[in-house]
């Protein structure tokens, strides 16, 4: 978002009124010429008009316009909720530690999507960062009803979280679509709560600008890229508070969970959403297990790029042509790496035939291509010699 200042000289009021009045007449003429030539089919809408005469004798028209967008919004908006992150604030620094003098305050507001109702329980997906650090979470339905929510699980790597609430007041549940068939240019609708609950249920429209975009993520905020998240790109406006809300296709199906926005002075109209096909297995794990099961090698590692050149030759004995890889700092006792014979200062350069140049490469391969109990083939340098290992992956604790 930006503010734009005009450097043009100000016009006097008389001249401004005259030009505005002239423009108004021209605009009216244009409307009279252009609009009658457009059909309802071209507009994608239908109209219902009634005419009445006011006390002053002027005729007024009341027109209800129904379009494909309004129909989709009407059918889906009740499945989108507000999510309030409540955290305890210390009111009195001299209060006891028993809770006296403390109360929960709203630390942030996002959005969420009701995706399932099972008996008297309803389930909501939102973003991890929306509920991160919350002492309590409150969900606000489209009709203003407030419900206490329980966080069932969160996942920092995909920025997803699952909540559960009493289902008695739930009116609508979102239908999952298929994000793998999306095409650039396909129309989409974003529903959420930009800037907080005062704008709850806000609707913006746009198109899919791109699919399978990779966005770098710094999980621990240390300035180093830890992960690359695959996202959908849309030009539908997504602002703070939209996070966790719904990205919907023209059929009214949920195809993305709005997550983040690139906000730079030179960049506008780039909104990002987690594809629903990526989200579904994560949601299932968070709902049933409270966490996502991911494979682990059982090692502490560091990028070879972070090791000074003199240590690469003197301590690691690496050939000079080896420029990428990951260095084993330590091996967890009883882990798959320990059982495979991998040792500290080994330098992994390949997994299952794929080059590994960084920690990011290793994570991408393990988290996207393998599962717990899989056996991976590892190539690593030890004292200058390339060796082969077979390692059984265990659950990441």
SS3 for 75?
helix
Distance between CA 344 and CA 298 in Å, rounded?
Answer: 12
The mean pLDDT of the chain is 83
The residue ranges of DSSP E strands in 284-363, in sequence order, are: 295-296, 299-303, 326-331, 347-351, 354-355
pLDDT at position 33: 34
Tell me the whole-structure pTM to 2 decimals: 0.76
SS3 for 203?
strand
Distance between CA 93 and CA 214 in Å, rounded?
Answer: 45
- Check 159, 235, 346, 361 and give the catalytic one: 159
The first and second tokens of residue 388, run together, are: 């082969």
pLDDT at position 28: 34
Residue ranges of the chain assigned to CATH 2.30.42.10:
295-395
Q: Mark whether 129 is an active-site residue.
A: yes
Q: Mark whether 243 is an active-site residue.
A: yes
Distance between CA 277 and CA 177 in Å, rounded?
Answer: 8
Distance between CA 181 and CA 298 in Å, rounded?
Answer: 37
Over residues 227-238, the mean pLDDT reads: 90
Assign domain 75-93+102-166 one CATH number from 2.40.10.10, 1.10.510.10, 2.60.40.1220, 2.40.30.10.
2.40.10.10
Tens digit of each residue's pLDDT (9 = 90 or more) over 32-88: 333 333 334 433 556 665 555 555 667 777 777 777 888 999 999 999 999 999 998
Give CATH for domain 295-395.
Answer: 2.30.42.10
- Check 243, 259, 335, 358 and give the catalytic one: 243
Distance between CA 238 and CA 243 in Å, rounded?
Answer: 8
- Check 129, 209, 235, 335 and give the catalytic one: 129
**% of residues, the chain, pLDDT over 70:** 79
Q: Which residue has the tokens 């650090």?
A: 133
Tens digit of each residue's pLDDT (9 = 90 or more) over 187-208: 999 999 887 677 778 899 999 9
Tens digit of each residue's pLDDT (9 = 90 or more) over 97-141: 555 556 778 888 999 999 999 999 999 999 999 999 999 999 999
- Contact between residue 233 and residue 239 where contact means Cβ atoms under 8 Å apart: no
Candidate from 5-9, 156-160, 352-356 with smallest mean pLDDT: 5-9
Architecture of domain 179-284: Beta Barrel (2.40)
Residue ranges of the chain assigned to CATH 2.40.10.10:
75-93+102-166, 179-284
Q: Mark whether 68 is an active-site residue.
A: no
């Amino acid at each position: 978002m930006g503010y734009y200042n005009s450097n043009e000289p100000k016009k006097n009021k008389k001249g401004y009124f005259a030009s505005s009045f002239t423009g108004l007449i021209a605009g009216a003429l244009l409307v009279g010429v252009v609009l009658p030539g457009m059909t309802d089919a071209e507009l994608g809408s239908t109209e219902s008009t009634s005419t009445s005469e006011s006390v002053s004798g002027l005729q007024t028209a009341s027109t209800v316009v129904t379009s494909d967008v309004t129909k989709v919004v009407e059918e889906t908006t009740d499945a989108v909720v507000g999510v309030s992150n409540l955290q305890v604030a210390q009111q009195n620094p001299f209060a006891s530690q028993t809770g006296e003098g403390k109360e929960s305050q709203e630390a942030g507001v996002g959005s969420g999507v009701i995706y399932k109702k099972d008996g008297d329980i309803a389930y909501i997906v939102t973003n991890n960062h929306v509920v991160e650090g919350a002492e309590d979470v409150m969900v606000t339905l489209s009709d203003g009803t407030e419900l206490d929510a329980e966080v069932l699980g969160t996942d920092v790597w995909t920025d997803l979280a699952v909540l559960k609430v009493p289902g008695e007041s739930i009116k609508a549940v979102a239908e999952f679509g298929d994000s793998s068939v999306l095409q650039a240019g396909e129309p989409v609708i974003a529903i959420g709560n930009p800037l907080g609950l005062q704008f709850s249920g806000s609707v913006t429209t746009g198109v899919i600008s791109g699919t399978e975009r990779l966005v770098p993520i710094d999980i621990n905020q240390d300035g180093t890229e830890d992960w690359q998240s695959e996202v959908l790109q849309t030009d539908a406006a997504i602002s703070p508070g939209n996070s966790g809300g719904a990205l919907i296709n023209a059929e009214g199906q949920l195809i993305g969970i709005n997550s983040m926005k690139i906000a730079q002075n030179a960049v506008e109209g780039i909104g990002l959403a987690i594809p629903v096909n990526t989200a579904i297995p994560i949601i299932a794990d968070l709902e049933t297990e409270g966490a996502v099961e991911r494979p682990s090698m059982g090692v502490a590692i560091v990028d070879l790029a972070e090791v000074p050149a003199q240590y690469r030759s003197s301590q690691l004995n690496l050939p000079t042509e080896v420029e990428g890889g990951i260095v084993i700092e330590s091996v967890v006792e009883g882990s798959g790496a320990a059982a495979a014979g991998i040792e500290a200062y080994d330098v992994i350069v390949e997994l299952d035939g794929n080059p590994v140049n960084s920690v990011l490469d290793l994570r991408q391969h393990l988290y996207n291509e393998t599962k717990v109990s899989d056996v991976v083939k590892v190539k690593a340098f030890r004292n200058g010699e390339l060796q082969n290992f077979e390692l059984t992956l265990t659950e990441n604790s």
